[in-house]
Amino acid sequence: MTQLAPLFAVPAAPVIPVLGENNGFPVHRIFCVGRNYAAHAAEMGNAVDRTAPFYFNKPPTGLLLNGSTMPYPPGTSDCHHEIELVIAIGAPAFRIAEDEAESIVYGYATGLDMTRRDLQQIAKDQGRPWDMAKSFEDSAIIGAITKAADFRPESQRISLTVNGETKQVGHLSDLIWSVPEMISHLSRYYHLTAGDLIYTGTPSGVGPVVPGDHLVGEVEGLVTLELTIGPAE
Ligand code: MN
C-alpha cells in the first residue's frame, strides 16, 4: 500500500537537549514506574511490593522542557509534584538481561511526573485505570539529558523545592527497583527502542502545587529542572 500524505499536521513531541550535542533526543514513548521508593509507597498507604514493578504511560506530545510554564491542569483541585530520575533509552532491547541493561541507556535526566492526585484516588477506590490521573497534557517535564558516560546512578541525592522550600528528598540508592531491573523487566513486555523514556518513580514528600508556584528539581550530577505553574485555563 502506498504511503499517504497527511491531511493535516498533528502535535509532535519536543526534542530534548543533550549536554555536549548540537542536536537533541527525539522522544518515542514515556513509561513511568509506580511506587519505587519505600518512603513514598508508605506515604501513599501502600506496602513495599518486590513482586514486580508496575507502569503507566504519559503522552510524549505533552512533554514540557526545562523552564516551561505548565498551565494548572483541568479537572483537578489537587495536582501534585513528583520529582524523578529519568532514563533515556538509546538502543533497541527486547528481553534484555539485567547485567546488559545499562548498555542501552543513552543518558539520564531530571523529570517531573505531575499527577492529578484526586483523580488517582478516585481511580484507586473504584479499581479503575490511572490514565486520567497521570496521562494528561503537560504532565511530564524533563531537563536536558546527560550522557550515560558522564553519569551513573548510585546514591545521588534527588530533591525538589517549591518556592525555595524543600518538599522532597531522597537518594537514588533508595530505589526499590534498580535501573537494570526496570529496563530488563520492561523489555519483557515491550520492544524498547531509542527514544523511549522511563520515569523511575518519586521519593517521599509529594504534595500539591498552585498557580504561581516555582518548582526546582535536582538529581545530584544532572541538569537542574525548573517549572512554573501557570493559571488554570
Ligand atoms: Mn511518579
How close are the terminal C-alpha atoms of the chain, in Å? 43
Report the separation in Å between the CA atom of 203 and the middle of ligand 1, taken as the mean of its atom positions. 9
Report the separation in Å between the CA atom of 20 and the middle of ligand 1, taken as the mean of its atom positions. 28
**% the chain with pLDDT above 90:** 93
Model pLDDT, residue 45: 87
pLDDT digits (tens, 9 = 90+) for 166-210: 999 999 999 999 999 999 999 999 999 999 999 999 999 999 999
- Quick check: helix, strand or coil at residue 101? helix
Model pLDDT, residue 51: 92
Model pLDDT, residue 39: 87
Check whether 1 has a pLDDT greater than 80: no
Rounded distance, CA 32 to CA 60, Å?
12
Report the separation in Å between the CA atom of 47 and the middle of ligand 1, taken as the mean of its atom positions. 16
Residue 226 banded pLDDT, cuts 50, 70, 90: very high
Report the separation in Å between the CA atom of 116 and the middle of ligand 1, taken as the mean of its atom positions. 11
Report the separation in Å between the CA atom of 231 and the middle of ligand 1, taken as the mean of its atom positions. 23
pLDDT digits (tens, 9 = 90+) for 128-146: 999 999 999 999 999 999 9
Per DSSP, the residues of 97-134 read: -HHHHGGGEEEEEEEEE-EEHHHHHHHHHHT--SHHHH
Give the three cell numbers for residue 80: 501534585
Model pLDDT, residue 58: 98
Give the three cell numbers for residue 59: 503522552
Give the three cell numbers for residue 54: 508496575
Report the separation in Å between the CA atom of 199 and the middle of ligand 1, taken as the mean of its atom positions. 7
pLDDT digits (tens, 9 = 90+) for 36-74: 998 888 888 888 888 999 999 999 998 999 999 999 999
Check whether 83 has a pLDDT greater than 90: yes
92: number of Cβ within 10 Å: 13
**CB of 151 within 8 A of CB of 107?**
yes
Structural domains for the chain: 29-230 (3.90.850.10)
Rounded distance, CA 148 to CA 108, Å?
7
Report the separation in Å between the CA atom of 26 and the middle of ligand 1, taken as the mean of its atom positions. 21
Check whether 126 has a pLDDT greater than 80: yes
**Sequence letter at residue 119:** L
Report the separation in Å between the CA atom of 6 and the middle of ligand 1, taken as the mean of its atom positions. 35
Rounded average pLDDT over 139-162: 98
Rounded distance, CA 207 to CA 25, Å?
30
